[in-house]
Chains A and B, each alone.
Chain A
Amino acid sequence: MLIGRRSIAGLAVGLAYTGLSSRAAFAADKEIVVGANVPMSGPAASGGIAAERALTHATEIINKEGIQIGPDRYTLKIAIYDNKYIPAESVTNAEKMLSEGIRYIYSIGSGNSVPIVDKTNAAKALQFSFASGKDHLTGPNLPLSFRSVPTNETAYAIYPWLKTAYPNVKRVAHVNPSDEAGFTESEDRRAQAEKAGFTNVANEYFKRGATDFYPTATRVLTSNPDFIDFGGSIGRDQALGVKALRELGYKGMIMVGYVDPKTFLEIAGPEGAEGALLSNTLIEPQTQVQKDLVDWYIKKYGPPFSAVLYDSWDPIFMLAEAMRKAQSIDPVVVAESLRSLEWAGLFGTMKYGMKSVYKIDCSMTRDIPMGVVKGGKSTYLTTIPWPKGL
């Protein structure tokens, strides 16, 4: 019966988002519309659908209390704009949102977030993105652009930790999708790995959504690595990559991220997945808030829970809190408030920072949870604290 309910819920979501995107999103007097420029179809749809579910539920919670600014009580409303993970669609979406008066924009994927950031900043709209993209997306010239999830930046914490935790690792290979996300991830991860004292031996790219990973895996293995970082790869792609590596006889370490642990195990298979490090991945809900979130999801959509959903959870709460603190809905004012906000979220203390790298505090900093696949199960490994002074 679970299936039946999920199907109906799924259809309802499907209908809801087509309805939302077609409806002109003009704000009622006290409604603040947050436009979500996310992939609801195409090779990265899994991320977009998870985000849509997270954002909708988060705003329900926020709206119970509302955002009190002076005498006025505001609520948030999510309007979904499907970018199909195509940059051109994303630009069209941004133009549509800005012309409809939307001044808060959430965006997923660097290929979709980078091409619109100049437009949103020029229009004085606050953009927060779940994306890699480094200084293409963050910097003093883009004061209204925030990166709400540490992506390539996790390398700043992980590689120094790796050096002490696994001293035998010497030769690192990087495997990434051949797009903006993959390029920036690869660049940063290589730099941080070298800085931590590793040798970079390979730097491979694959086409996102490719069917077979034997060729890519064969190619990587010719460089004889002992640690393979899947960087900016997501979900199915990296599970298949890992499976191929193991089937081709690779015995060294593998690190993946942006993956739901259950899905990863299912696709990579128990032998394939064994030993893989799950970077920046919350394996099991630990706190009550996390448990509630998982319970709500399973009840509403049925299993499996999509762990990438965690990443789209806190930023919208932080936005609401920044509005309350600033007592304003002007994106320029809210941006400054957001910059100084410390938030107790799903991942512990969360704050927009990294001024030392990007010359402005605008990239999410928080502790990095690590998991590992052990005995055919994903288990919690450790939490790497965010490096001091970054």
Chain B
Amino acid sequence: MTATLALQIGITGLVMGLIYMLIALGVTLIFGIMRVVNFVHGELVMLSAFAVYYLSAEWGINFWLALPLAMLVSAFTGILCQKFLFRPLRYDILNCFIIGIGASFAIRSGSWALFGPEPRAIPALVPGVMRIGGAFVSQQRVFTAAVCVVLAVALFLFLQYTRPGKAMRAVEQDPEAALLMGINIENVYVTVFVVSGALAAVGGALLGMLFGVDPEMGAEPLLKSFIIVQIGGMGSILGTVIAGLFIGMSDSITETTLGGELAFIIDFAILMLILIVRPKGLFGYDV
């Protein structure tokens, strides 16, 4: 393997890892705090991408206005899921999992009927290609990677230093004790879905600019997210960041050197191995 090829693999993996991480953060946030595996997260990504597409590419609204609007739509859809799917099931992990799969398929099928068969694309914000050493990367990818890093740091600061962030951590670590501190758990759950939905919306817009928009676009990133969240340790933000980068890199290496089909097999092998050695994931703890 030449140095250029290695560099290319590294850059590709870094960017994809960061994108997967962004989607996975929304999943791990909800799981950590509510013990709910949100299968609908991928559909929030997809619906937001369509929202951004229609608002900006079709109706000519400025992207920087379209994005917050899409974040609102996604956050609102998230709240709907919380209120009408997961709360009636009392956040039971298995029931929520099953209803989530069902809802996800229903939303996807409905989207095919609603949006039609042709995939779309959100125009890139920063067109052009960069050359790093002998490797290439589109500037849009560099921009995307930067946004992912900024959002991960913002999420960390939010959880660490703000009042709603601290309330989330308290509920995550001990819901009953949080109740005794006067924290309104139902409000925290709503906030969690709002934050997760907003992250999904940014993810959708970024994915839509790089990879096009269609009803299936959320499926693969969500599957990767589950692997990442499992490897990182369900609910651990740091674990998600590290596992995201790890999976992005591992995918890039396998897909480039061995071929596309093997990536998922290798991902699952890594997951199996880690779960055997550390059943709670790299950074997991008792839940």
Which A residues fall within an 8 A CB radius of B? 3, 6-7, 10-11, 13-14, 17, 40-43, 45-50, 178, 204-207, 209-212, 214-216, 218-219, 222, 235-236, 239-240, 247-249, 260, 262-263, 266-267, 269, 271, 301-302, 304, 306, 308
Cβ of A267 and Cβ of B121 under 8 Å apart? yes
Which B residues fall within an 8 A CB radius of A? 5, 8-9, 12, 15-16, 54, 58, 105, 108-110, 112-121, 124, 127, 129, 136-138, 207, 210-212, 214-217, 219-221, 224, 251-252, 254-257, 259-261, 263-264
Contact status of A248 and B216, CB under 8 A, knowing A207-B263, A214-B252, A219-B259: no
Expressed in whole angstroms, the Cα–Cα distance for A14 and B105 within the complex equals 14
Contact status of A266 and B256, CB under 8 A, knowing A14-B114, A45-B215: no
A54, chain B: closest CB distance, angstroms: 11
Contact status of A247 and B117, CB under 8 A, knowing A207-B263, A211-B207: no
B-chain residues with CB within 8 Å of residue A3 when the two chains form the complex? 54, 58
B-chain residues with CB within 8 Å of residue A209 when the two chains form the complex? 216, 219-220
Cβ of B216 and Cβ of A45 under 8 Å apart? yes
A141, chain B: closest CB distance, angstroms: 31
A-B contact pairs, 30 of them (CB 8 A): A3-B54, A3-B58, A14-B114, A40-B112, A46-B112, A47-B117, A48-B117, A50-B117, A178-B260, A205-B259, A206-B260, A207-B260, A207-B261, A207-B264, A210-B220, A211-B207, A211-B217, A215-B9, A216-B255, A219-B255, A235-B118, A235-B119, A236-B212, A247-B136, A248-B136, A249-B129, A269-B127, A271-B127, A302-B116, A306-B117
Cβ of A40 and Cβ of B109 under 8 Å apart? yes
Contact status of A267 and B212, CB under 8 A, knowing A219-B257, A247-B129: yes
Contact partner, A306, options B105, B116, B124, B207, Cβ 8 Å: B116
Expressed in whole angstroms, the Cα–Cα distance for A266 and B209 within the complex equals 10
Cβ of B220 and Cβ of A41 under 8 Å apart? no
Contact status of A212 and B114, CB under 8 A, knowing A236-B212, A236-B214: no
Cβ of B119 and Cβ of A14 under 8 Å apart? no
A20, chain B: closest CB distance, angstroms: 13
Expressed in whole angstroms, the Cα–Cα distance for A301 and B115 within the complex equals 10
Contact status of A215 and B118, CB under 8 A, knowing A40-B112, A205-B261, A267-B212: no
- Closest chain B residue to A44, Cβ basis: B216
B54, chain A: closest CB distance, angstroms: 7
Expressed in whole angstroms, the Cα–Cα distance for A205 and B235 within the complex equals 35
A376, chain B: closest CB distance, angstroms: 13
- Closest chain B residue to A7, Cβ basis: B114
Cβ of A46 and Cβ of B119 under 8 Å apart? yes
Report the 9 A-B pairs with minimum CB-CB distance, sorted nearest first. Answer: A14-B113, A215-B255, A46-B117, A206-B260, A49-B117, A236-B119, A214-B12, A267-B212, A215-B256
Cβ of B116 and Cβ of A10 under 8 Å apart? yes
- Closest chain B residue to A47, Cβ basis: B117
Contact status of A266 and B120, CB under 8 A, knowing A49-B112, A214-B12, A218-B9: yes
A101, chain B: closest CB distance, angstroms: 27
Expressed in whole angstroms, the Cα–Cα distance for A308 and B119 within the complex equals 13
Contact partner, B256, options A14, A211, A218, A302, Cβ 8 Å: A218
B39, chain A: closest CB distance, angstroms: 16
B-chain residues with CB within 8 Å of residue A14 when the two chains form the complex? 109-110, 112-114
Expressed in whole angstroms, the Cα–Cα distance for A207 and B259 within the complex equals 9
B233, chain A: closest CB distance, angstroms: 24
A-chain residues with CB within 8 Å of residue B116 when the two chains form the complex? 6, 10, 49, 301-302, 304, 306
A-chain residues with CB within 8 Å of residue B217 when the two chains form the complex? 211
B110, chain A: closest CB distance, angstroms: 6
Expressed in whole angstroms, the Cα–Cα distance for A239 and B118 within the complex equals 12
Expressed in whole angstroms, the Cα–Cα distance for A3 and B115 within the complex equals 9
Cβ of A306 and Cβ of B118 under 8 Å apart? yes
Cβ of A10 and Cβ of B113 under 8 Å apart? yes
Expressed in whole angstroms, the Cα–Cα distance for A3 and B120 within the complex equals 15
Contact partner, B260, options A41, A42, A205, A236, Cβ 8 Å: A205
B34, chain A: closest CB distance, angstroms: 27
Contact status of A45 and B117, CB under 8 A, knowing A178-B260, A209-B220: yes
Cβ of A222 and Cβ of B5 under 8 Å apart? yes
Cβ of B114 and Cβ of A215 under 8 Å apart? no
B-chain residues with CB within 8 Å of residue A239 when the two chains form the complex? 119, 212
B243, chain A: closest CB distance, angstroms: 17
B-chain residues with CB within 8 Å of residue A269 when the two chains form the complex? 121, 124, 127
Contact status of A304 and B54, CB under 8 A, knowing A11-B113, A210-B220, A215-B255: no
Expressed in whole angstroms, the Cα–Cα distance for A301 and B118 within the complex equals 12
B-chain residues with CB within 8 Å of residue A212 when the two chains form the complex? 12, 16, 210-211, 251, 255
Expressed in whole angstroms, the Cα–Cα distance for A267 and B215 within the complex equals 15
B-chain residues with CB within 8 Å of residue A11 when the two chains form the complex? 113-114
B144, chain A: closest CB distance, angstroms: 11
Expressed in whole angstroms, the Cα–Cα distance for A263 and B116 within the complex equals 12
Expressed in whole angstroms, the Cα–Cα distance for A11 and B115 within the complex equals 10
Cβ of A240 and Cβ of B212 under 8 Å apart? yes
Expressed in whole angstroms, the Cα–Cα distance for A6 and B216 within the complex equals 20
A-chain residues with CB within 8 Å of residue B113 when the two chains form the complex? 10-11, 13-14, 17, 49
A258, chain B: closest CB distance, angstroms: 12
Cβ of A215 and Cβ of B129 under 8 Å apart? no
A-chain residues with CB within 8 Å of residue B207 when the two chains form the complex? 211
A-chain residues with CB within 8 Å of residue B137 when the two chains form the complex? 247
- Closest chain B residue to A53, Cβ basis: B117
Cβ of A178 and Cβ of B261 under 8 Å apart? yes
Sample of 19 more A-B contacts, CB < 8 Å, known A41-B112, A207-B261, A260-B118: A14-B109, A14-B114, A49-B112, A49-B113, A49-B117, A206-B260, A210-B220, A212-B251, A214-B252, A215-B263, A216-B255, A216-B256, A218-B256, A219-B259, A236-B211, A247-B129, A249-B136, A263-B120, A266-B121
- Closest chain B residue to A247, Cβ basis: B138
Expressed in whole angstroms, the Cα–Cα distance for A249 and B11 within the complex equals 15
Cβ of B115 and Cβ of A219 under 8 Å apart? no
B73, chain A: closest CB distance, angstroms: 15
- Closest chain B residue to A272, Cβ basis: B138
Expressed in whole angstroms, the Cα–Cα distance for A215 and B215 within the complex equals 23
Centre residue among A14, A266, A271 by max chain B CB count within 10 A: A266
